[in-house]
Chains A and B, each alone.
Chain A
Amino acid sequence: MLKNHYQLLIIGAGPAGLAAAATVSGHGISCALVDEQPAPGGQIYRCSESVSEQRARILGDEYQRGKQLITAFRNSDAEYFPDTRIWSLSNQRQIGIIHQEHSKIITADQILVASGAMERPVPFPGWTLPGVMQAGAGQILFKSAGAIPGYGVVLAGSGPLLLLLAWQYMNAGVDIKAILDVTPLTNHLLALPKLPRALLAHHYLTKGLVYQKDLRRAGVITKLGVSALQATGEECLQTVSYHHFGRQHTIKTELLLTHFGIIPHIWLTQASGCDHWWDKHQKCCRPQHDDWGNTSIDGIMVAGDGAGINGARSAEHAGRLAGLQALYALGVLTEQARDEQSINDRKWMQTDCHIRPFLEAYFAIPDKLLATPDNDTIVCRCEEITAGQIRDAVANGHSDSNQVKYFTRCGMGPCQGRQCANAVAHIIADTGGQAVSDNSLFRSRPPVAPLTLAQLADLHEANSQ
Chain B
Amino acid sequence: MNTEVLIIGAGLMGASTALQLAMRGCQCVVIDKASPGRHASGSNAGGLRQLNRDVAEIPLTVEAARMWRHIESLVDSDCDTRFTGQLRVAENQSDLIKLQQRAELVRNMGYQHEEIIGKKELYQLVPSLSPHCVGGLICRQDGYARPYHALTAFRRKAESLGVHFQSATEVYHIEQSGKGWLVNTSCGDFKSNILVNCAGAWAGQLAELINEPVPLTPKALILMVTERLPHFVDPVMGAASRKLSFKQMQNGTLIIGGALVAGLDFEREQTEINWQQLATSAKTVLDFFPQLCNVRVVRVWAGIEGFLPDGIPVISASKIGNNAYHAFGFSAHGFQLSPVVGRILSQLILDDKSELPIEPFSIDRFSKEKQ
> B-contacting residues of A (Cβ < 8 Å)?
88, 90-92, 96, 105, 273, 396-400, 403, 406-407, 409, 412-414, 416, 445-447, 450-454, 456-460, 463
A457/B296 in contact, CB under 8 A: no
**Alpha-carbon gap, A458 to B275, bound state (A):** 11
**Alpha-carbon gap, A90 to B274, bound state (A):** 10
Decide yes or no whether B187 CB sits under 8 A from chain A.
no
**Cβ contacts A to B, 20 pairs, < 8 Å:** A92-B272, A398-B152, A406-B42, A407-B149, A416-B298, A445-B300, A445-B301, A446-B300, A447-B300, A451-B297, A453-B282, A454-B282, A454-B293, A454-B294, A456-B278, A457-B286, A459-B276, A460-B276, A460-B279, A460-B283
Q: How far is the CB of A311 from chain B (nearest CB, A)?
A: 32
A453/B42 in contact, CB under 8 A: no
Q: What's the interface size class on B, roughly?
A: 35 or more
Q: How far is the CB of B56 from chain A (nearest CB, A)?
A: 31
The one of B292, B299, B300 that contacts A412, using a Cβ cutoff of 8 Å: B299
**A406 cross-chain contacts in B, Cβ below 8 A:** 37, 42, 148
B279/A459 in contact, CB under 8 A: yes
Decide yes or no whether B285 CB sits under 8 A from chain A.
yes
B156/A396 in contact, CB under 8 A: yes
**Alpha-carbon gap, A396 to B157, bound state (A):** 12
A400/B35 in contact, CB under 8 A: yes
Q: How far is the CB of A67 from chain B (nearest CB, A)?
A: 36
**A88 cross-chain contacts in B, Cβ below 8 A:** 273, 275
B279/A447 in contact, CB under 8 A: no
**B155 cross-chain contacts in A, Cβ below 8 A:** 397
**Alpha-carbon gap, A90 to B299, bound state (A):** 16
Interface centre among B36, B37, B152, B298 (most CB of A within 10 A): B298
The one of B148, B251, B275 that contacts A105, using a Cβ cutoff of 8 Å: B275
**A450 cross-chain contacts in B, Cβ below 8 A:** 227, 296-298
The number of inter-chain residue pairs (CB within 8 angstroms) is: 89
B279/A446 in contact, CB under 8 A: no
> A-contacting residues of B (Cβ < 8 Å)?
35-37, 42, 148-149, 152, 155-156, 165, 225-227, 251, 270, 272-273, 275-276, 278-280, 282-283, 285-286, 292-301
**Alpha-carbon gap, A93 to B165, bound state (A):** 40
A453/B292 in contact, CB under 8 A: yes
A457-B279, A463-B276 as given contacts; A451 in contact with B42, CB under 8 Å: no
A457-B282, A460-B283 as given contacts; A414 in contact with B275, CB under 8 Å: no
**A416 cross-chain contacts in B, Cβ below 8 A:** 298-299
B297/A445 in contact, CB under 8 A: no
Please, which residue of chain B has its CB at the minimum distance from the CB of A459? Answer: B279
17 additional A-B pairs beyond A446-B273, A447-B300, A450-B227, beta carbons within 8 Å, are A90-B272, A403-B35, A407-B148, A407-B152, A414-B298, A445-B300, A445-B301, A450-B296, A452-B297, A453-B226, A453-B293, A453-B294, A456-B297, A457-B286, A457-B293, A458-B279, A459-B276
B152/A447 in contact, CB under 8 A: no
A414/B295 in contact, CB under 8 A: no
Q: How far is the CB of A290 from chain B (nearest CB, A)?
A: 22
